[in-house]
A and B are shown apart, each in its own frame.
Chain A
Amino acid sequence: DIQMTQSPSTLSASVGDRVTITCRASQSISAWLAWYQQKPGKAPNLLIFKASSLESGVPSRFSGSGYGTEFTLTISSLQPDDFATYYCQQYNSYPLTFGQGTRLEIK
């Protein structure tokens, strides 16, 4: 199974900050990586697919990059609505696996 490791587990930031979350795969997954945002009590929402492709309707302040085993999600200028938990997911092979999540909280 491909293990996905996110860092940090918790991130404290302020509105307007630029933040980056890292996701590492235990083996190469090419660009087969997605990012999701989840708010408490809600289903996750797709942000990014194929490592860097922005899902329709997602604000352009979200961006993704990476290839192989190391990936990043960047939020260029944090908005109040962005405080949530973020998950990466590899879809290179079954079983599909997620990172453990990064909780983005208000400083």
Chain B
Amino acid sequence: QVQLVESGGGVVQPGTSLRLPCAASGFIFSSFATHWVRQAPGKGLEWVAAISSDGSDKYYRDSVKGRFTISRDNSKDTLYLQMNSLRGEDTAVYFCVRGSVAARQYFDFWGQGALVTVSS
């Protein structure tokens, strides 16, 4: 069955960096675009970044452009989110999400999430 397992969450200070890996299994990872979606405590869902199946196309929300980098290693079936210059408003549960097969992307499978807390 499809599984997406995030790791790497934790408590970090403002201005520092963190990398979140997401290990995929149960499907042909290299055939699907993948995304990061976050949810601040008690708040709604917010799309963060997307990467195409071969890694050639990347998209970001404005508030993380220049600070976050999405990448993937299809040989390891792993998605990454490198987060630099972290701010308090980046505190959230970060979900690794599989995009739908079609060019336009809804989210058909979600990981369980990794909590990132940015606090001094």
Contacts and interface: CB of A to CB of B under 8 A. Distances in A.
Interface of A: 32, 34, 36, 38, 42-46, 49, 55, 87, 89, 91-92, 94-101
A87 B45 contact: yes
Contacts of B106: 32, 34, 46, 49, 89, 91
Interface residues of B, number: 21
A89 B107 contact: yes
> What is the predominant secondary structure among interface residues of chain A facing chain B?
loop
A92 B103 CA distance: 10
A98 B107 CA distance: 12
Given A46-B106, A46-B107, A95 B62 contact: yes
B95 A43 contact: yes
Interface in B76-114: 95, 100, 104-108, 110-113
A34 to B, nearest CB: 4
Given A49-B108, A101-B44, 5 more contacts: A34-B106, A36-B107, A89-B107, A97-B47, A100-B44
Given A89-B106, A89-B107, A43 B112 contact: yes
B111 to A, nearest CB: 7
Nearest to A99: B44
B70 to A, nearest CB: 13
B28 to A, nearest CB: 18
B59 interface: yes
Contact of A98 (B35, B45, B50, B108): B45
